[in-house]
Amino acid sequence: MRGWWQELAGLVLPVDCAGCGAVRVLVCADCRGALSGAVAGLVRPSPRPEGLPVVQAAAAYEGAVRAVLLAHKERGALPLAGVLGAALAAAVLAGGTAPGRGEVALVPVPSARRQVRARGHDPARRIALAAAGRLRRAGVPARVAPVLGLRRAVADQAGLGARQRRENLAGALAVRRDGARLTGGARIVLVDDVVTTGATLAEAARAVRAAGLVGGPAAGPGAVLRAAVVAAPADSFARGPRTVAR
């Protein structure tokens, strides 16, 4: 029975580090360091899409970080949500969230239903749940509020440029009927696994603002609403991410 369970676990769980291939460890110490949030900082996609809120990222989307994210997202390595959630929590904290500043509602960007069926899970939501747990352990009241949904079909974003992504997503997201109840009394932080052009987060922000969940006529874009992601391209960091010692 033990051998059977080990074989089954080998099919479901990565037997080597998802980031660098180190043997017999889910994520090695070095790759955990790359996802620790030590390099968390402000990211500014260029060109910056209209309405994009302030975005904090925990790490540069390259090397081991990219490998771990893809293993979780595309290959269903679900236990990786823990280390990715810790990285997302670090990005949320880097955006000014701290104990004593009230409750936080993490609003994940939704995946299309066909993608959820194909992958067997919703990556952003799973990472958000892990991040909320990490934030609570750090003394920050946090909950996940999955209030966004797609109201029309969108094309796969892979291979699309910044303008094409904006056009593909324009008006695609909307807040569900119970959005105000699920986010009431909390500061909203939009969350996703990766930001590239910023088109997805800009559309999510538009939907949240249109529903009246944040801001108001006197508030400029991003004045209240914030966003956090696990990773972003290295060249989009406002000051450039620091290199994590290996």
Joined tokens for residue 204: 């999510």
pLDDT at 82: 95
pLDDT in tens, 111-157: 877 777 778 889 999 999 999 999 999 999 999 999 998 875 665 65
Q: What is the pTM of this model?
A: 0.84
Q: Residue 20 CB: number of other CB atoms within 10 A?
A: 17
Q: Looking at 29-33, 86-90, 160-164, which range is the least confident one?
A: 160-164
> Does the pLDDT at position 2 exceed 60?
no
Q: Would you list the DSSP string of 79-143?
A: GGHHHHHHHHHHHHHHTT--TTS--EEEEEPPPPHHHHHHHSS-HHHHHHHHHHHHHHHTT--EE
pLDDT at 160: 56
Q: Residue 132 CB: number of other CB atoms within 10 A?
A: 24
- Angle 175-180-182 from CA coordinates, rounded to 5°: 95
Interatomic CA distance for residues 108 and 106, integer angstroms: 6
pLDDT in tens, 170-183: 557 889 998 999 99
